[in-house]
Amino acid sequence: MRQLLTESTLLALAGGAVGILLATTTVGMLTNFVGRFTSRTSEIAIDPWVLAFTVLVSIASGLLFGVFPALTSRADLATTMKQGSKGSGGETRGRQWLKSGLIVGQVAVSVVLLVGAGLLLTSLFRLQKVDAGYRPERVLSAEVLTTNFTKYPNAEAQLRLYEPLIQRLQSEAGVVSVAVTNAVPLTSLRPRDNPFQIEGRAVDDPAKRPTADARIVSPNYFATIGVPLVAGRFLTDADSKDGNRVLVINKAMMRYWDKADPVGSRVSLNNGRTWATVVGIVGDVKQFGLDKDVVAQVYTPLSQEANGIGGAAVLVRTIGDPMAVSRIVREDVHAIGVAFAITSCSSPMSRRISTARWLVMWARGVCASQR
């Protein structure tokens, strides 16, 4: 019994030590993932309580799995071990085949696991090189919901809520710029396919018109998340609801102009009822996943959105740590009025990219295991 307890306890403590080592090296992966859902990731750490818990569980496991075999076994361990060391000369052919088969199976499984791990690491290395198309460092995102739809039923009424919020946040210390959008990169699963037509270009079949992913943004959106300007200009505060309708497109959408300059041309997103002038072209953004192809995108001004935006994401670029202003964002949202409810104030957008990389890795691992 002493022999079994000694062996099992040492093995359990060694396992606990390996677990602590793995936890220390991978705790960053955990915080990157849960940072999408909570702002309390700073509380996740390997502290003395975690170490004490691990030691206690290891000792308890060693005692449990050491005592149980000792109590249930009546064999003379010394005699059994001596018999096992005499070699396999007396083993039957079937037993030898079984042992050989187990060894071959272990080696085969090990090779498969090593190949799979190598492929996953290669994928991770390639994902690290993927350009998301924007600069997420020091940008905080907060999901905000308009709760009183009877008092704020249309776009003009909702705009009276979001504009004061943007101005209030913009005046806070440590805030560089603030923007509002209906979709933050890497949070949507699929594009919002919106058929469009270019003025002066006839479409034979209206059902086969090209589509683009339509996004609603405030003027500072591109500066806040760091999307580069390719041609023309960004949206500005002068693009009001009373001004000429305008929009911005991404580089991927330029292919519909057949190498012509899109800036200055007009596009309709509602079957020709209204037309908007293309005033700028911005870089492509990996909106739906780092492993997904870039799609054609159209950005329309928040002030000119006829159907309203409803729930939106408020993006705040800061000078220092974005999480330091999360409390200020919540306070300013609630200070605007009861028509706003903040559903989440998530971690910096840079963590979304890290989380997206690991989600791609996980998905590819699941697919590989199923194959």
3-state SS class at 178? strand
Q: Which residues does 36 contact at the CB level (< 8 Å), separation at least 6?
A: 346, 347, 351, 352, 355
Distance between CA atoms of 326 and 141, rounded to whole angstroms?
9
**pLDDT band per the 50, 70, 90 thresholds, residue 142:** confident
Per-residue pLDDT at 368: 46
Whether 358 has a pLDDT exceeding 70, the answer reads: no
Of residues 353, 335, 310, the one with CA closest to residue 216? 310
Q: Are residues 68 and 147 in the same domain?
A: no
**pLDDT band per the 50, 70, 90 thresholds, residue 369:** very low
Q: Which residues does 316 contact at the CB level (< 8 Å), separation at least 6?
A: 139, 140, 141, 142, 169, 175, 177, 178, 224, 322, 325, 329
Q: Is residue 111 part of a domain?
A: no
Q: What is the mean pLDDT of residues 303-308?
A: 74
Last-in-domain residue among 75, 107, 131: 75
183, 215 Cβ separation under 8 angstroms: yes
Whether 222 has a pLDDT exceeding 90, the answer reads: yes
Last-in-domain residue among 75, 101, 121: 75
Q: Is residue 336 part of a domain?
A: yes
Q: Is residue 119 part of a domain?
A: no
Last-in-domain residue among 75, 94, 116: 75
The pLDDT tens digits for 96-133 are 888 888 899 999 999 998 988 888 777 767 766 777 88
- For 97, the token pair is 């085949």
Domain of 212? 139-361
Buried b (16+ CB within 10 A) or exposed e, 15-42: ebeeebeeeeeeeeeebbbebbeebebe
Q: How far is CA 108 from CA 94, 99, 365, 367, 369, in A?
A: 21, 14, 18, 19, 15
- The larger pLDDT score, comparing residue 73 to residue 47, is at 47
The pLDDT tens digits for 57-68 are 999 998 888 887
Distance between CA atoms of 41 and 300, rounded to whole angstroms?
35
Per-residue pLDDT at 55: 92
Per-residue pLDDT at 117: 82
The pLDDT tens digits for 240-291 are 888 899 999 999 999 999 889 999 999 998 888 899 999 999 999 988 877 7
Cβ-count burial of 223 within 10 angstroms (0-12 exposed, 13-18 middle, 19+ buried)?
A: middle
Q: Is residue 309 part of a domain?
A: yes
Question: What are the φ/ψ torsions at residue 355 (nearest 5 degrees)?
Answer: -65, -40
Q: What is the mean pLDDT of residues 307-315?
A: 73
Q: Is residue 162 part of a domain?
A: yes
The pLDDT tens digits for 314-340 are 888 988 887 778 788 878 877 776 555
Q: Is residue 121 part of a domain?
A: no
Distance between CA atoms of 74 and 63, rounded to whole angstroms?
18
**pLDDT band per the 50, 70, 90 thresholds, residue 162:** confident
- For 189, the token pair is 């699963």
Over pLDDT 70: what percentage of the chain? 75
In which element (H, E) is residue 149 found? none
Q: Are residues 188 and 301 in the same domain?
A: yes
Q: Which residues does 347 contact at the CB level (< 8 Å), separation at least 6?
A: 35, 36, 39, 41, 140, 322, 323
Of residues 369, 326, 331, the one with CA closest to residue 348? 326
Q: Are residues 65 and 209 in the same domain?
A: no
Q: Is residue 237 part of a domain?
A: yes
Q: Where is average pLDDT lowest: 79-83, 212-216, 340-344? A: 340-344
The pLDDT tens digits for 165-213 are 888 888 888 889 999 888 788 776 678 888 999 998 877 677 778 899 9
Q: Is residue 107 part of a domain?
A: no
3-state SS class at 131? coil
Whether 89 has a pLDDT exceeding 60, the answer reads: no
Per-residue pLDDT at 370: 45
Distance between CA atoms of 148 and 217, rounded to whole angstroms?
21
**How many separate domains does the chain show?**
2
